């Protein structure tokens, strides 16, 4: 396909939706990618760049001259333009901004001045705003005649001469009201304006809580500076859930398009921490080497105690991390959840303690070993429950993300406690 | 507060948003909950029930007489009403439906007839539709005068006399067009109508891919039966991400409000499977009991090999499961990702093999032990990479959810291979 026939190509690709073009770009080799963008020339839809991995986006943007980028960006919605600009180096950013028309430049600059991951960075700076004393008729006529309006919008904001936000009117309200009615009589309070400095995750929570479709973004003086729409929020929600899953799984910010070298390096820190904690657990085992030499069955059984604790701990931890992420766990119910998890740990510890006790006792024809492993199992399941709930809570309290570090701490606790309890009881009883 | 002063209570609670009322309900004890709903009487906003855990919702709904529920449901949007109805027993469902007005009943029945987790079950059956030959002016007049319209809407659908979907017009388009223009001249193709039978997760993917805010839901004959809006989709996305995280963590459908007994029981299956695989791994260790008795250091070090493999495996698995969930992994790039993961496994295996080899060799003053653990580490990291990618892929291929069972299979592989490689090489070399 990509053999130079740029006219046919332009026609075929032009039919694609931006996200389909994005998928196409991701499927191609790096050389094919730049070739495709080259051949498409002006027909290349830059919004497709918001749909690809960061690595690929940078690769494509850096292969293009800055003035081409400037022209393309001026045709995008401001939030898409910011999305592409924010990853570039500062020199390139400034160069591209300088080539843009004045209002465009001011708008993008303002978004970029807000810190990453805030509502201000994500917002769209194109919106429709009218004064409160206009009538519905005046508003409709303005919407019909003004050429400068954003491509699509679902509400009209009401502002005073200083751009202070007074309220908003949904389009269906405008359509259902007679022309003579004043806007201020049908406007509703924008009860949940989002401060531009607010973290995007918090903004997403507000959207979810109040089932918003779009919300006004205001600066510290209550002036309207942009709008945040739900499709941006969906992206935030996805990113956050993704981040939680990756962090629980010990994977960093890697992307599917990363190279072997990059992937391998990004996974090393987590494996290093795990190696350190595994060595810690090994030194616990080493304390009891004499007992193990006497009763090798202990070496055979000890991973069962540690492993079951690890699994029970990660169950409790998963529930706790999710409940913290969705703000379902707070001061009101923390005591109840802690009590519940401790009781569940004891109950399941007893159930599986008895089960493994019988199995181990029969296997090694030693009731003593059965008793020992049963007691160790109860102890470790209790430790797992405590670690599974308190470690994420503590991490959350000190401002860390519970998803990122809980797994390693919890399994360290269950390994160390599991080996220590099992081998310790055995060394007293059998030693 | 809940001491009988129903007037003050009604005033205070009436000010709350439905989701805040939902949070309040979740924070209360069961008795307080029914008391609150009782005291509020008709002022109780049923849409708050869509914001609470299933257990609490059932508890409240079951405490109310069916005709009260029927009255309340008729005031809700159809998707909220279905959400509350679908969990009830069939007798109650039928009884409540029978008490509803005819059109209402038909609508809810139709939604309930679609299987759970489909677009048809989630859709809202209230929408605005006009014929193509109307003018913009006629449409606006209709919107102004008709009392039966849904509470809010963001587009007008265009249908033929048999309800077949022809297109849609966004409200901003209506507002920006002169009154004499015909609707058919400004309508756009609804390029992505959602079949009512489509799985909600698939529907959510379409919303995300094309950044939709709402979409038409059509039956098998292409007739418009409802609309799906992005706030429903946000709920679906959240549920699915939540499900993945829980399944990877070995937690089922439990809720934060569940009792000890219920929680404990819901976690037993997962722990039982893990016990079985842990016993399997223990039998592998048992094969080499003579070697362990001779060299106790092996018992001290073996959990390190198994544990590092488990962690590397869960990194690869996390990436694979997420890529499958987001449809980023397909036939196009599977070969590349498999190659990458295998290489990453070998590289990280070599890095950590050398590292632990040196540590173990020095610790037990035996270069042989160092070599043995280094080789075992490379073998197990390779096994981890293969298991981490092929197990989710296979589960996905046979139609199972990779998130639900991957963890247990992957750790079984890394435990068994880890113990077998380490102790096997040691028994040949040292035995």
Residue range B392-431, pLDDT digits in tens: 999 988 888 787 778 888 989 999 999 999 999 999 988 6
| Cβ-defined contact of B213 to A211 (cutoff 8 Å) | no
Residue range A159-211, pLDDT digits in tens: 988 888 888 888 888 888 888 889 888 888 876 788 988 988 888 888 877 77
Residue range B226-264, pLDDT digits in tens: 888 887 787 787 777 778 788 877 777 777 778 888 888
Q: Which of A264, A270, A377 to mutate to test the interface with B (most CBs of B within 10 A)?
A: A264
Q: Is residue A188 part of a domain?
A: yes
B374 touches chain A (CB under 8 A): no
DSSP bridge pairs for B311? none
Q: Please report the pLDDT score of residue B4 as a whole number.
A: 55
From chain B, pick out residues whose CB is under 8 angstroms from the CB of A171.
154, 171-172, 175
Claim to verify: residue A64 and residue A188 sit in the same structural domain? no
| Cβ-defined contact of B343 to A264 (cutoff 8 Å) | yes
| Cβ-defined contact of B175 to A312 (cutoff 8 Å) | no
Claim to verify: residue B403 and residue B372 sit in the same structural domain? yes
Claim to verify: residue B134 and residue B111 sit in the same structural domain? no
Go through A237-249 and write b for each residue having 16 or more CB atoms within 10 A of its CB, e for each that does not: bbebbebbbbbbb
Claim to verify: residue A264 and residue A412 sit in the same structural domain? yes
Claim to verify: residue B154 and residue B202 sit in the same structural domain? yes
Q: Please report the pLDDT score of residue A191 as a whole number.
A: 66
Boundary residue ending a domain (B221, B248, B275):
B248
B397 touches chain A (CB under 8 A): no
DSSP-assigned letters across all residues of A81-145: HHHHHTTS-HHHHHHHHHTS-HHHHHHHHHHHHSPTTBHHHH-B----EE-TT-BHHHHHHHHHH
Least confident of A367-371, B49-53, B158-162: B49-53
Q: Is residue A347 part of a domain?
A: yes
Mean pLDDT of B170-196: 84
Q: Write the CB contacts of A8 (distance below 8 Å, at least 6 apart in sequence).
A: none
Q: What is d(CA A249, CA A111) in angstroms, rounded to the nearest whole number?
A: 33
Give the gyration radius of chain B's Cα atoms. Answer: 30
Q: Is the pLDDT of residue B28 over 80?
A: no
Boundary residue ending a domain (A117, A140, A163):
A117
Q: Are β-strands B194-195 and B214-218 bridged in parallel, bridged antiparallel, or unpaired?
A: parallel
CA distances from B56 to B34, B264, B265, B267 (A): 10, 19, 19, 21
Q: Please report the pLDDT score of residue A431 as a whole number.
A: 67
Claim to verify: residue A113 and residue A136 sit in the same structural domain? no
DSSP bridge pairs for B68? none
Q: Please report the pLDDT score of residue B153 as a whole number.
A: 81
Question: Which residues 257-296 of A are in CB contact (within 8 Å) with B?
Answer: 258-261, 263-264, 267-268, 270-271, 274-275, 278-279, 281-282, 285-286, 289, 292-293, 296
From chain B, pick out residues whose CB is under 8 angstroms from the CB of A263.
340, 344
DSSP-assigned letters across all residues of B354-419: HHHHHHHHHHTT-HHHHHHHHHHHHHHHHHHHHHHHHHHHHHHHTT--HHHHHHHHHHHHHHHHHH
A362 touches chain B (CB under 8 A): no
Q: Please report the pLDDT score of residue A92 as a whole number.
A: 82
Boundary residue ending a domain (B117, B150, B182):
B117
Residue range B192-238, pLDDT digits in tens: 788 988 988 888 888 877 777 788 898 888 888 888 888 778 778 77
Q: Is residue A245 part of a domain?
A: no
- For residue A142 the two structure tokens come to 């303005």
Q: Nearest 5 degrees, angle CA B340-CA B342-CA B344?
A: 65
Nearest CA in chain B to A137: B175
User: Nearest-CA distance from B76 to chain A in Å?
Assistant: 15
Contact between B418 and B384 (Cβ < 8 Å): no
Q: Is residue A253 part of a domain?
A: no
Claim to verify: residue B113 and residue B133 sit in the same structural domain? no
Structural domain for B97, as ranges: 6-117
Low-confidence ranges of chain A (pLDDT < 70): 1-11, 13-15, 191, 431
Q: What is d(CA B369, CA B365) in angstroms, rounded to the nearest whole number?
A: 8
Claim to verify: residue A155 and residue A211 sit in the same structural domain? yes
User: What value of ipTM does the predicted structure carry?
Assistant: 0.73
Minimal CA–CA distance to A117: which of A244, A250, A232? A232
The single-letter DSSP state of residue A193 is P
How many beta carbons lie within 10 A of that of residue B24, not counting itself?
17
Q: Is residue A134 part of a domain?
A: yes
Contact between A260 and B349 (Cβ < 8 Å): no
Q: Please report the pLDDT score of residue B374 as a whole number.
A: 96
The rounded Cα A399 to chain-centroid distance in angstroms is: 16
The single-letter DSSP state of residue A180 is T
Q: What is d(CA A199, CA A401) in angstroms, rounded to the nearest whole number?
A: 14
Q: Please report the pLDDT score of residue A11 as a whole number.
A: 67
Q: Which of B264, B270, B328 to mutate to test the interface with A (most CBs of A within 10 A)?
A: B264
CATH classification at residue B336: 1.10.357.20
Q: Please report the pLDDT score of residue B8 as a whole number.
A: 66
| Cβ-defined contact of B348 to A144 (cutoff 8 Å) | no
Claim to verify: residue A181 and residue A138 sit in the same structural domain? yes
DSSP bridge pairs for A167? A158
Taking each helix axis from N to C terminus, what angle separates B30-40 and B54-62, rounded to the nearest 10 degrees? 50
Q: Is residue A237 part of a domain?
A: no
Of B149, B175, B318, nearest to A245 by CB-CB distance is B318
Of B208, B296, B343, nearest to A293 by CB-CB distance is B296
Minimal CA–CA distance to B227: which of B209, B207, B210? B207
Claim to verify: residue B207 and residue B275 sit in the same structural domain? no
Claim to verify: residue A58 and residue A144 sit in the same structural domain? no
Mean pLDDT of B98-115: 83
| Cβ-defined contact of A344 to B263 (cutoff 8 Å) | yes
Q: Please report the pLDDT score of residue B321 as a whole number.
A: 87
Q: What is d(CA A340, CA A336) in angstroms, rounded to the nearest whole number?
A: 6
Of B26, B299, B332, nearest to A292 by CB-CB distance is B299
For chains A and B, CB pairs below 8 A equal: 299
Q: Please report the pLDDT score of residue B9 as a whole number.
A: 66
Q: Is A325 exposed, middle or buried (0-12, 13-18, 19+ CB in 10 A)?
A: buried
Claim to verify: residue A145 and residue A288 sit in the same structural domain? no
| Cβ-defined contact of A213 to B259 (cutoff 8 Å) | no
User: Nearest-CA distance from B388 to chain A in Å?
Assistant: 12
Q: Is the pLDDT of residue B120 over 70?
A: yes
Q: Please report the pLDDT score of residue A29 as a whole number.
A: 75
| Cβ-defined contact of A303 to B306 (cutoff 8 Å) | yes
Minimal CA–CA distance to A386: which of A320, A331, A332? A320
Q: What is d(CA B48, CA B22) in angstroms, rounded to the nearest whole number?
A: 5
DSSP-assigned letters across all residues of A249-300: TT--S--TT--HHHHHHHHHHHHHHHHHHHHHHHHHHHHTHHHHHH-THHHH
Q: Which of A191, A245, A338, A359 to mutate to test the interface with B (most CBs of B within 10 A)?
A: A245
Nearest CA in chain B to A232: B211
Strands (E), B181-336: 194-195, 214-218, 224-229
Q: Is residue B124 part of a domain?
A: no
Q: Write the CB contacts of B134 (distance below 8 Å, at least 6 apart in sequence).
A: B142, B182, B183
Domain count along chain B:
3
Q: Is residue B278 part of a domain?
A: yes
CATH classification at residue B25: 1.25.60.10
Question: What are the backbone dihedrals phi and psi of residue A362, each rounded to the nearest 5 degrees, phi first?
Answer: -70, -40
Q: Write the CB contacts of B414 (distance below 8 Å, at least 6 apart in sequence).
A: B306, B309, B310, B312, B313, B380, B383, B384, B387
User: Nearest-CA distance from B288 to chain A in Å?
Assistant: 9
Q: Please say whether the dihedral angle defined by the alpha carbons of residues A401, A81, A255 and A90, taken in this order, is positive or negative.
A: negative
Q: Please report the pLDDT score of residue B358 as a whole number.
A: 95
CATH classification at residue B231: 3.10.580.10
């Amino acid at each position: 396909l990509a053999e130079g026939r740029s006219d046919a190509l332009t026609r075929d690709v032009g039919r694609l939706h931006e996200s389909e073009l994005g998928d196409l770009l991701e499927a191609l080799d790096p050389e094919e990618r730049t070739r495709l963008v080259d051949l498409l020339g002006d027909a290349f839809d830059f919004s497709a760049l918001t749909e690809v991995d960061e690595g690929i986006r940078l690769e494509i943007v850096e292969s293009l001259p800055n003035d081409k980028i400037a022209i393309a960006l001026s045709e995008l919605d401001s939030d898409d333009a910011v999305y592409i600009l924010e990853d570039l180096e500062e020199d390139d950013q400034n160069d591209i901004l300088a080539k843009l028309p004045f209002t465009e430049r001011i708008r993008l600059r303002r978004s970029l001045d807000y810190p990453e991951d805030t509502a201000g960075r994500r917002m769209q700076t194109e919106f429709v705003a009218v004064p409160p004393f206009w009538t519905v008729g005046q508003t409709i006529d303005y919407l019909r005649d003004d050429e400068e309006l954003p491509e699509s919008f679902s509400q009209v904001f009401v502002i005073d001469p200083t751009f202070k936000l007074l309220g908003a009117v949904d389009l269906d309200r405008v359509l259902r009201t007679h022309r003579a009615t004043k806007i201020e009589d049908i406007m509703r309070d924008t009860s949940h304006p989002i401060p531009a400095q607010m973290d995007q995750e918090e903004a997403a929570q507000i959207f979810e809580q109040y089932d918003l479709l779009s919300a006004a973004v205001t600066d510290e003086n209550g002036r309207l500076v942009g709008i945040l729409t739900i499709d941006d929020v969906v992206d935030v929600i996805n990113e956050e859930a993704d981040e939680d899953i990756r962090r629980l799984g010990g994977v960093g910010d890697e992307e599917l398009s990363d190279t072997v070298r990059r992937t391998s390096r990004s996974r090393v820190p987590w494996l290093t921490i795990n190696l350190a904690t595994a060595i810690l657990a090994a030194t616990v085992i080493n304390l009891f080497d004499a007992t193990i030499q006497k009763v090798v069955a202990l070496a055979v059984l000890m991973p069962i105690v540690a492993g079951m604790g690890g699994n029970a701990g990660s169950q409790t931890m998963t529930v706790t991390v999710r409940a913290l992420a969705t703000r379902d766990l707070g001061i009101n119910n923390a005591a109840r959840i802690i009590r519940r998890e401790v009781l569940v740990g004891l109950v399941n510890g007893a159930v599986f303690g008895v089960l493994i006790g019988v199995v181990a006792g029969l296997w090694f024809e030693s009731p003593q070993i059965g008793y020992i492993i049963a007691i160790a199992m109860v102890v470790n399941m209790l430790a797992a429950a405590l670690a599974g709930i308190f470690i994420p809570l503590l991490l959350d309290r000190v401002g860390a993300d519970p998803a990122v570090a809980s797994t390693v701490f919890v399994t360290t606790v269950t390994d160390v406690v599991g080996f220590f309890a099992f081998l310790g009881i055995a060394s007293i009883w059998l030693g």
